[in-house]
Every structure is written in C-alpha cells, then in structure tokens.
Amino acid sequence: MKRILIATSNPGKLRDFSGAALAYGIEVASLPNFSSLPVVIEDGLTFEDNARKKAEQYSRYAPGEIVLADDSGLEVDGLGGAPGVHSARYAADAPHLVENNTDDHANNARLIREIRNVPPEKRTGRFVCVIAAARDGQTLAVFRGAAEGVILDAPRGSNGFGYDPIFYFPPIQKAFAELKAEEKAQYSHRGAAFREFLRWRQP
C-alpha cells in the first residue's frame, strides 16, 4: 500500500491528504485523468451521501483499485449547522441549486457577514470530513473525522484553503491557515478520517 488514489483534483485536499500520509510513507495521487472524467453531481443530503456517490462512480474508472472520495464542510452552531454540505458553494445566492463551487474568499466573506449578529459564545462549529473507500463501484467502508473550533471574524494565515483562515482551533491557539500541511494533518477533520482509513486498511 504505497500509493492511494483520491478522487479529487482539488489541490488543497491533495495537500491535506499528502500531509496526513507522509508519516506513513504513503504516496497520495489523484485518480488518473481525473479532470477528463464525467463530473459527479454532489446532491446528497449528507456528507456521507456525497462521499459514497463520488467514490462509487469514480472507482469504476480504476478497476480493482481502492479509490477514496471525501465530502467535507463546516458546520456553525449559531447558524443551525450551515453551511454544511453546501460549504463549497456557500457564496451563491442559492447554494443548494448550483453545481459549481464558489470562490473560497467569497465563501469566507459571506460566513463572516452572517456571524456578525451571532453572539461570540455561539460561534462554535466544526469541520467534518467523511471519506468513502470504494472498489469497482461498491463502497467498502466509510470513515468520519471532525475538528471542533471557533469561527473568527477576520482571516488569519496564508496556508490551507476553504474556511481554514477563519477556523480557530483552541487547543493550539491558531487558525488552520496558520499551519503547514503536516501540522494541520495532526488536528484536522480530514487527517482524522484518513487515519481511520489507514487503521482499517492496515489492521
């Protein structure tokens, strides 16, 4: 198990997975020719729904191989769990109706606007990641990771992607965007889910 195929072309996700895999001497690679494959519409109601759908469909393009796909996002308590499964499209007028992701800066800006009227004690939330492992169109197992934190009212740091600049992680008193990939993997939702996968794959 020297290489793991990930069904994504998102450079941020690939950095996260690579950071988590480094300590195990494992190489993480995007599914070959991923950009030319038909896009899977992420219309599930939960992170697991979307992760399973992507893993099952994309694993058909790598016969016999285990392919991982994840769906992840941010749940803010003071916003009733939003943006949730719509995290990557949150800046859109109707996130549940669009298929394309919106810009990270725009998503962050919308979230900062929305928490201005939320009391500080309710600005808690969590990053959630669900990874599905599939082979030949069948899900083999599902893994979940979460990281509890606080939403900031201004960005910090220049690393990471998505909501990392406004996600403050109290145990280390830093935003995720202030961490390098290897360090972030120790604390992040994606790192936690990936380690669960590794434990399952290498009992």
Active site residues: 71
Alpha carbon separation from 56 to 49, 65, 70, 95, 117 (Å, rounded): 11, 12, 11, 24, 41
HEC sequence for 28-60: EEECCCHHHCCCCCCCCCCHHHHHHHHHHHHHC
111 token code pair? 């979230």
The total of other beta-carbon atoms located within 10 Å of residue 121's CB is 9
Please give the Cα distance from 190 to 127 (Å, whole number).
9
